[in-house]
Amino acid sequence: KYYQKWSFSETVWQPIPISNDSPDQTMLFRNGSCPYTIWFMKNDNDVIINNYNETQIEELLSHLSEKCGIPINIEAMFDLYDLFKSMISNELQLPEWINHEQFQLMELIYYEQTRRVYNNKKIQNIIIGPLIKQISLNMELQSNSPDYIKTKNNMHLYAGHDMTLGTMMYFLGNNKIKLPDFGASAHFHLYLNKTIKVFYYNKWDNENGEEMSIPKCGYSCNLDDFVNLINNEMSTEWEQDCQIEGN
């Protein structure tokens, strides 16, 4: 339903539909579609404030609220940080009311929360479970095809958010990543000998990807071992995972 096959015969380019979120789901971290993620983000914001200089953070939020003319909490501050990062990437000057120290504090808080989100096993399953299970299933089906050896130019392309990619990298053991840059990507290679390798490209113009170690496998993983890893680590109880424990 949501798949599109590349056509080599009609055009040399092909428009790809981009959705703000999964075509059949509302946003995981907003609108109440997944109570656990809403609860986690709210609870985690409080944890971050308590773990850092609470007075400094409260002063920053008060300053941002005054300059923006609306109440700014941690969640709204993340939206501002995204805006400021976009301005910097387009070589635009930040507002004069944001100094270097304030921007660094926003960045520190942003990175701390993304790290905690990426590393949360339940959120990993909710965000990348369906995706990585689909990737492993496609590889398994392809390897079992009678035309497997003859197959050429076979690629499945998935578009996601920076949160998707960051969570994927943490699952694979790359806990150094802060925030994927524009056009960053993860490449899962299935070879003729039915082994898998994973490469991470940290931005759109990086032509030399970093080979990633696969949990319980190393840098090269037998397809059967990879499928077993995904099936064991990622459940399909996504609706259950979205519920808050005790409710």
215 and 144 assigned to the same domain: yes
- State what percent of residues in the chain have pLDDT above 70: 83
Q: Which of 13-17, 160-164, 215-219, 226-230 has the lowest mean pLDDT?
A: 13-17
CB of 46 within 8 A of CB of 40? Answer: no
Q: How far apart are CA 169 and CA 186, in angstroms?
A: 8
The answer to whether position 28 is within a domain reads: no
Q: Which of 94-98, 115-119, 155-159 has the lowest mean pLDDT?
A: 155-159
Domain count, the chain: 2
Ramachandran category for residue 246: left, alpha or beta (phi over 0 → left; psi -120 to 50 → alpha): left
The answer to whether position 194 is within a domain reads: yes
Domain end, chosen from 85, 118, 151, is at 118
Both tokens of 144, joined, read 């079992």
The answer to whether position 2 is within a domain reads: no
The answer to whether position 103 is within a domain reads: yes
106 and 146 assigned to the same domain: no
Confidence at residue 31, expressed as pLDDT on a 0 to 100 scale: 58
Domain end, chosen from 64, 83, 118, is at 118
66 and 175 assigned to the same domain: no
Confidence at residue 228, expressed as pLDDT on a 0 to 100 scale: 94
What is the domain range of residue 52?
35-118
At 200, the pLDDT band (50, 70, 90 cuts) reads: very high
Cα–Cα nearest to 79, from 120, 113, 54: 113
* Max CA pair span of the chain: 65
Residue carrying structure tokens 């905690």:
116
Confidence at residue 201, expressed as pLDDT on a 0 to 100 scale: 92
109 and 181 assigned to the same domain: no
208 and 141 assigned to the same domain: yes
113 and 191 assigned to the same domain: no
Confidence at residue 246, expressed as pLDDT on a 0 to 100 scale: 57
What pTM value is reported for the model?
0.77
Angle CA 234–78–55, to nearest 5: 115
- Mean pLDDT for the stretch of residues 77-97: 91
The answer to whether position 25 is within a domain reads: no
Confidence at residue 6, expressed as pLDDT on a 0 to 100 scale: 61
At 23, the pLDDT band (50, 70, 90 cuts) reads: low
128 and 59 assigned to the same domain: no
56 and 40 assigned to the same domain: yes
113 and 174 assigned to the same domain: no
**Does the pLDDT at position 247 exceed 60?**
no
**Does the pLDDT at position 203 exceed 80?**
yes
CB of 168 within 8 A of CB of 126? Answer: no
The answer to whether position 73 is within a domain reads: yes
**Does the pLDDT at position 50 exceed 60?**
yes
The answer to whether position 169 is within a domain reads: yes
The answer to whether position 24 is within a domain reads: no
- Mean pLDDT for the stretch of residues 50-60: 82
DSSP the chain: -------TTT-S-------SS-TTS--TTSTTSSHHHHHHHHHHHHHHHHHS-HHHHHHHHHHHHHHHTS---HHHHHHHHHHHHHHHHTTPPPPTT--HHHHHHHHHHHHHHHHHHHT-HHHHHHHHHHHHHHHHHHHHHHHTSTTTTT--S--------HHHHHHHHHHHT-TT--SPPTT-EEEEEE-TTSEEEEEEE-STT--SPEEEPBTTTBSSEEHHHHHHHHHHHS-S-HHHHTSPTT-
- State what percent of residues in the chain have pLDDT above 90: 33
99 and 156 assigned to the same domain: no
pLDDT digits (tens, 9 = 90+) for 136-165: 998 998 888 777 666 666 778 887 788 889
Q: Which of 5-19, 62-76, 101-115, 213-227 has the lowest mean pLDDT?
A: 5-19
Q: How far apart are CA 81 and CA 85, in angstroms?
A: 6
Tell me whether residue 131 is exposed, middle or buried, using C-beta atoms within 10 angstroms of its C-beta: 0 to 12, 13 to 18, 19 or more. Answer: middle
127 and 99 assigned to the same domain: no
Domain end, chosen from 79, 101, 118, is at 118
At 189, the pLDDT band (50, 70, 90 cuts) reads: very high
109 and 160 assigned to the same domain: no
